[in-house]
Each structure stands twice: as structure tokens, then as C-alpha cells.
Structure 1
Amino acid sequence: MSRTDIELVEEANTAFYEAMERGDFETLSGLWLDDDISCVHPGWPVLSGRGEVLRSYALIMANTEYIQFFLTDVKISLTTDTALVTCTENILSGGPAEESGELGPLMGQLVVATNVFHRTPDGWKLWSHHGSPVLTENGEDDQPEEESPG
């Protein structure tokens, strides 16, 4: 039984996040189109072109000890050769503790993401990634708030 385009796009999207989690720059690089790509990381300006985009991921991977993505609200829309994936990235990340060198405290963050894929002879490749932090009513990143007593 052959896989549907929706399944193939979902696999490509999952591969993107798994490569980030593993810090696998080579695999991540192979998931992008060869040119005319763009990326917006939360709080960053628009990055255009393969060199700028991949350099940003190399920097993120070099400076992130641990990262894990739990994707929710994944929706895939498809036209002939273009696929749009929207999702919420529930991110758990951390770096080394300054004194011990061991993994320090983990931080959580919510980011809404849009990933655009284009069909190529080699399968579905990323054309654009845009991540935006989820803000609460007070304008800060969405973090659980402590409940006040009674």
C-alpha cells in the first residue's frame, strides 16, 4: 500500500523536529530545499537563503544542550506541490548548569509554527519555517502561572 501525500508530508515534518532533537545538522540540512528558503525563529528577523537559514540552525544546535518537541494541533493542508503544516511546538529545553557541567533546569515554551513544504523529485522539502511565541494576556511568553490561594 502506498503512502498518501499527507502521510509523506507528516513524515517530513516529523523528521525536521527529530533532527533538531538529535542535533543532526546533516539530516536537517537535507530536509530543506536547495535555494530560496526562509525561516523566522521566535524573536528573530526573517532569515533568507540556504546559507543564513542553515547557519541559524547550526548556532541553535551548538548552543542547546537538550531540546525536545511535543507537537500538538498539527494540521496539514495540501495543494498539488505545496503543503502547509501548522502546529504548536511544546518545547522542553535546557543547557548545562554553569558549575557542574551537567544538564541544568529545563525550560518550557509554547511556539506556534507554520512549515511550508514543496514536493521535489527527492520528496517533500522544507521551503519555509515560521515560529512565533504564544503570548498570554499580560504579553509574556505562555508559562503556567501559580494559582493564588483561595
Structure 2
Amino acid sequence: MSTGRDEHAEAAADIAAVERANTTFYEAMERGDYEELSGLWLPGEDLTVSCVHPGWPVLSGRGEVLRSYALIMANTDYIQFFLTDVGISMTGDTALVTCTENILSGGPAEDGNALGPLVGQLVVATNVFRRTPDGWKLWSHHGSPVLTENGEEGDEESSS
């Protein structure tokens, strides 16, 4: 029979493992490591993975989701995530992570320089993880842009 202390220690270890899995996801994106990123998603189609990138339709299935990341990585020369407001909740073998992605990114420069101008963006994200024999794996990622105070995304100029 387990004691309350044992259950608390197990829950804390699970939360720490989910937090590491979440951090690893963003670090793989920053490095453009497609192989590592692919290994972070649930394997097979037992539970269909899904992804919503800001402004994109729902992507369902491992192939479609992973193709989207390959496309993003191929067209992004630099990306860095600063995660804030990270919250983790769990029930059984499922963990829910919410966070704000403070993103700094840049694409290819048009004038031949190594990197184009850097752009900042705020995205609120929900990442759902499932416990597997190989650790915590992503089941779903959903990112939504944060709107500015005047209701417009991005620049504060309004189109009147």
C-alpha cells in the first residue's frame, strides 16, 4: 500500500518529466532537429495526433502533423521560444501543459545577408502529452496568436 508521501513524490516526478518533455519539444524546434521532434510525438495511429499552428487549419494524423513541422523548419532560419505562464495539470496517463510562447524568429534575408529581420510574436499554447513506455509523448499541440489591446494581431496600426 502506498502512502500519501509516495503518491506526492510520484506526482512531482511525473510533473517534472512532463515539463522536461515540453521543454525538449521547444528546444528541438529551436535547433531545427526534425528527427528529435518526430520522436516526441505519439507513435502510430492508436491515438490520432493533432496540431493547430496559429492561423492554420487543424492537422490530424502523424504524417500531416510532422510534414507541417518539416515545412516550418525548412522556412525558418532562426527561432527561439521563451516560455512563460507554464502550467501543468495531470490525470492518469494524460498531462495538459498551457504556456505562452514568446517567439523570436527570422527567415532568409532578401539582400543576401545570413538572416532577415527578427520578428516577435506571442502565442498561447496547449500541449497534451500521454504517458508511454518510452516516456511522455505529444498527443496534441494547439497554438493561438495573442491579440493586441485594440483587437488587431501584430502591428498596432488599424485598417480604418
Q: TM-score, normalised by structure 2?
A: 0.86
User: How far is 1:142 from its partner?
Assistant: 4.9
Q: Which has the larger radius of gyration?
A: 2
Per-residue deviation at 1:139?
2.3
RMSD: 1.7
Report how many residues are paired. 145
After TM superposition, give the deviation of residue 138 of structure 1 in Å. 2.5
SS in 2 for 1:4: helix
Q: Which structure has greater helix proportion? A: 2
| 2:14 paired with 1:5 | yes
Q: After superposition, what is the alpha-carbon deviation per residue over 1:74-115, rounded to whole angstroms, capped at 9, x for unaligned?
A: 000011100000000000000121112321210000000000
Corresponding residue of 1:19: 28
What letter corresponds to residue 7 of structure 1 in structure 2?
Answer: A
Alignment of 1:31-46 (within 5 A): 31-34=40-43, 35=45, 36-46=48-58
Residues in 2 aligned to 1:142 and 1:110: alpha-carbon distance in whole angstroms? 9
Other-structure match for 2:60: 48
Mark the runs of 5 or more structure 2 residues left unpaired by the alignment.
1-8
Q: Please give the TM-score of this superposition, normalised by the length of structure 1.
A: 0.91
Q: Is the 8 A contact 1:16 1:28 kept in 2?
A: yes
| Contact 1:109–1:141 (CA under 8 A) maintained in structure 2 | no
